[in-house]
């Protein structure tokens, strides 16, 4: 048997005093019908216990006896689908820090140098180079009295967010405003010679976000997109090889090609020594797992038990598991 992280005697919500072992250094998929207890086990117990242990803070974990195997880990990263920013001032580029080397690149162009423009002038979040009429938003909010507010394009910068002198500066023929309108894939190509920018943008294409506009406000990203932006950001950090990644429903509505991409990324994390637990229904992900844990048999009081544990081949032979039945039909 592998080294494992084991949650013993979990009783929170509908969990029936279950003991679950997560093999280390494997891609583990936790399945089960809605309400079977997946989030209770992984988020309300394991994630909170790990948070207390590694960061000494947060809510106490839900009812369980013990967790063993901490020696295999030095941190936990949980990626849920909550929003990454509450203001239009944040976007995928700022959140992942891709925008800093991009601004730096503009500041290093001869035109910028001649005009004394620094990286700060290419920010729409600080005064200096941004349009002050809209404070870099590109839009103005018009109060319509008794009607909902309306967003209109800023008449001063025509939606470009920046002052004229900043827009006179180009890198390979593009202004900073053009760059914010580009897709992540296009931007990754434009900054191919700027590793700090290129590598972070490439990580976002790796998780299937190449189509996103660089400047799209974080508030407008879907839950699944926000989760993948977080994953890209985590991937850019130095890996410890002893991290436990917990992902709740990461491939909701993803294009099959993007699921394949995401799986490659997750397998890469495992190959680097980390452990990954994905909470998921999607059969593509299930078949690709190293190890399955199936909760059920159903939701609520009729759930909360371990129905099957093992490799996908082993679980496929278990007729009492819905996941096993599905795997058999494939
Ligand atoms: N805070 C809570 N208080 C009481 N019961 C809860 C609480 N949170 C969840 N439950 C119940 O515990 C059971 C398991 O819920 P849980 O969220 O763990 O399911 P899940 O497997 O993650 O489902 P889904 O696939 O829909 O996310 C459900 O019956 C749910 O109603
Ligand atoms: Mg859940
Ligand atoms: Zn403006």
**pLDDT tens per residue across all 330 residues of the chain:** 579 999 999 999 999 999 999 999 999 999 998 899 999 999 999 999 999 999 997 899 999 999 999 999 999 999 877 778 777 788 999 999 999 999 999 999 999 999 999 999 999 999 999 999 999 999 998 888 888 888 899 999 999 999 999 999 999 999 999 999 999 999 999 999 999 999 999 999 988 899 999 999 998 888 888 888 998 998 888 778 899 999 887 556 677 777 777 888 889 899 989 999 999 866 677 888 999 999 999 999 999 999 999 999 999 998 888 888 888 886
CA 295 to ligand 1: nearest atom: 21
| CA 270 from centre of chain | 17
User: Coil, strand, or helix at residue 308?
Assistant: strand
CA of 309 relative to ligand 3 center, distance in Å: 57
Beta-carbon contacts of 182 under 8 Å, excluding residues fewer than 6 positions away, are: 174, 190, 213, 214
Strands 150-153 and 139-142: antiparallel
In the structure encoding, which two tokens stand for residue 174, read together? 């593009």
Burial class (CB in 10 A: 0-12, 13-18, 19+), 209: buried
User: Coil, strand, or helix at residue 86?
Assistant: coil
pLDDT score of 189 = 98
Q: Which domains does the chain carry?
A: 4-84+224-329 (3.40.50.300), 92-218 (1.20.1580.10)
User: Is ligand 1 within 6 A of the CB of residue 14?
Assistant: yes
Which listed ligand is nearest to 33 at the C-alpha? 1
Alpha helices, DSSP H only, in the chain? 38-39, 48-55, 92-95, 99-107, 110-115, 164-167, 176-181, 184-190, 195-206, 223-235, 256-271, 283-287, 312-316, 322-329
Strands 243-248 and 275-279: parallel
Q: By C-alpha distance, which of 268, 206, 265 is closest to 241?
A: 268
User: Is ligand 1 within 6 A of the CB of residue 324?
Assistant: no
User: Coil, strand, or helix at residue 247?
Assistant: strand
Please tell me the residue having the least CA distance from ligand 1 atom 7.
13
Which listed ligand is nearest to 40 at the C-alpha? 1
In the structure encoding, which two tokens stand for residue 178, read together? 């053009």
pLDDT score of 282 = 65
CA of 249 relative to ligand 2 center, distance in Å: 8
| CA 190 from centre of chain | 24
Q: By C-alpha distance, which of 208, 215, 113 is closest to 168?
A: 113
Please tell me the residue having the least CA distance from ligand 1 atom 4.
13
CA of 124 relative to ligand 3 center, distance in Å: 10
CA of 189 relative to ligand 3 center, distance in Å: 28
CA of 54 relative to ligand 2 center, distance in Å: 23
Which listed ligand is nearest to 281 at the C-alpha? 1
pLDDT score of 52 = 95
Please tell me the residue having the least CA distance from ligand 1 atom 1.
13
CA of 279 relative to ligand 2 center, distance in Å: 8
| CA 323 from centre of chain | 26
User: Is ligand 1 within 6 A of the CB of residue 256?
Assistant: no
Which listed ligand is nearest to 15 at the C-alpha? 1
Alpha carbon separation from 7 to 42, 97, 175, 209, 283 (Å, rounded)? 9, 36, 53, 34, 25
CA pair distance 247, 130, nearest whole angstrom: 37
Q: By C-alpha distance, which of 8, 27, 52 is closest to 251?
A: 27
pTM equals: 0.85
């Amino acid at each position: 048997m592998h080294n494992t992280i084991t949650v013993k005697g979990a009783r929170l919500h509908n969990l029936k005093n279950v003991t679950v072992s997560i093999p280390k250094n494997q891609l583990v998929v936790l399945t089960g019908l809605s309400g079977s207890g997946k989030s209770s086990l992984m988020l309300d117990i394991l994630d909170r216990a790990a948070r207390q242990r590694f960061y000494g803070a947060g809510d106490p974990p839900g009812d369980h006896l013990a967790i063993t195997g901490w020696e295999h880990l030095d941190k936990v990263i949980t990626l849920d689908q909550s929003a990454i920013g509450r203001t239009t001032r944040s976007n995928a580029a700022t959140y992942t820090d891709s925008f800093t080397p991009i601004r730096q690149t503009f500041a290093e162009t001869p035109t910028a140098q001649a005009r004394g423009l620094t990286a700060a002038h290419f920010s729409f979040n600080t005064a200096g180079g941004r349009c002050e009429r809209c404070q870099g938003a590109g839009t103005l909010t018009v109060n319509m009295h008794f009607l909902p507010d309306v967003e209109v394009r800023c008449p001063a910068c025509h939606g470009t967010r920046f002052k004229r002198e900043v827009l006179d500066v180009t890198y390979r023929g593009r202004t900073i405003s053009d760059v914010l309108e580009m897709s992540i894939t296009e931007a990754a190509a434009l900054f191919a010679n700027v590793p700090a920018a290129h590598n972070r943008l490439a990580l976002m294409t790796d998780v299937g976000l190449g189509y996103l506009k660089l400047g799209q406000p974080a508030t407008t990203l879907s839950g699944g997109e926000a989760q993948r932006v977080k994953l890209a950001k985590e991937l850019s950090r130095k890996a410890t090889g002893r991290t436990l990644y917990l992902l709740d429903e990461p491939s909701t509505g993803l294009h099959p090609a993007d699921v394949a991409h995401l799986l490659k990324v997750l397998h890469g994390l495992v190959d680097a020594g980390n452990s990954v637990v994905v909470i998921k229904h999607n059969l593509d992900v299930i078949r690709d797992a190293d190890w399955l844990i199936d909760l059920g048999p159903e939701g609520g009081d009729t759930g909360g038990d371990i129905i099957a544990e093992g490799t996908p081949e082993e679980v496929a032979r278990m007729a009492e598991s819905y996941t096993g039945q599905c795997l058999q039909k494939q």
